[in-house]
Homo-oligomer: A and B are copies of this chain.
Amino acid sequence: MARTQGSHSGITGPRVREAAVSLFAQHGYAAVSMRQIAGEVGVQAGALYNYTPDKQSLLFGLMRDHMQDVLAAYEQLEPAKDAQEALRQFVGFHIRYHLQRPDEVFIAYMELRNLTPENFAEIETLRRRYEDALEAILCRGQDSGQFSVADTKIATLAVIAMLNGVMTWYRAGGRLSLDEVELVYWDMIRKSVAA
């Protein structure tokens, strides 16, 4: 009757990651124990160590994979012709992608301080690549005279901060549809950088 044993690597592995994502997002990395994660999966704590060398690596793996997924998804979009078009593309992509993976996104920017210095540096590099993509768009529009921002670096961070705010309140099936949300944000961002 006891617990099932044997070969379940292909099943348990993903479930460990799913449980970790859900629990880390809900209570925070430091507040979640390996035993809680194991309990969610339906397994003893020791079994987790077949899938991660330690707790820190589990967190880091989740964050790194998420950032790489975001970058890969964004970079395979077909490049827009002009800056305005590219900015709209970025806004739409960011909102939709992030609302599809709220837990991963939440972890990726809430748990940075719980990474070891080396792991932190690696995540920051990936995040930086994403920010640079947006800054490149702003610079392009600035050069072409379509945009007018006092400082492209700050504008980049301001736009991303604004977009990230959507995750704090948006709930699927709420007052506004995804299309409406995207439109509202696009409207504000378009105007905020306009010449």
Query: What is the total number of copies of this protein in its complex?
Result: 2
Size band of the interface chain A makes with B: 35 or more
In angstroms, how far is the closest chain B Cβ from the Cβ of A73? Answer: 23
For residue A185, CB closer than 8 A to chain B, the reply is: yes
Q: A194's closest neighbor in chain B, by CB?
A: B191
CB pair B162 A158 closer than 8 Å: yes
CB pair A184 B154 closer than 8 Å: yes
In the assembly, what is the distance between CA of A176 and CA of B155, in Å? 13
CB pair B161 A28 closer than 8 Å: no
Which B residues are in CB contact (< 8 Å) with A113? 26-28
Which B residues are in CB contact (< 8 Å) with A189? 192
Instruction: Choose, from A1-9, A11-19, A163-171, the stretch at the interface.
Output: A163-171
CB pair A188 B149 closer than 8 Å: yes
CB pair B176 A158 closer than 8 Å: no
For residue A157, CB closer than 8 A to chain B, the reply is: yes
- Interface flags, A148-160, vs B, CB<8A=1, else 0: 0111001101111
Task: Report which residue of A28, A154, A166, A194 has the largest number of chain B beta carbons within 10 angstroms of its beta carbon.
Answer: A154
Which residue numbers of A lie inside 8 Å of B, CB to CB?
26-28, 30-31, 110, 113-114, 149-151, 154-155, 157-162, 164-166, 168-169, 176, 180-181, 183-185, 187-189, 191-194
User: 17 A-B contacts, Cβ less than 8 Å apart?
Assistant: A28-B30, A110-B110, A149-B187, A149-B188, A151-B176, A151-B184, A154-B185, A155-B188, A157-B168, A158-B166, A158-B185, A159-B162, A161-B162, A161-B164, A161-B166, A161-B168, A188-B192
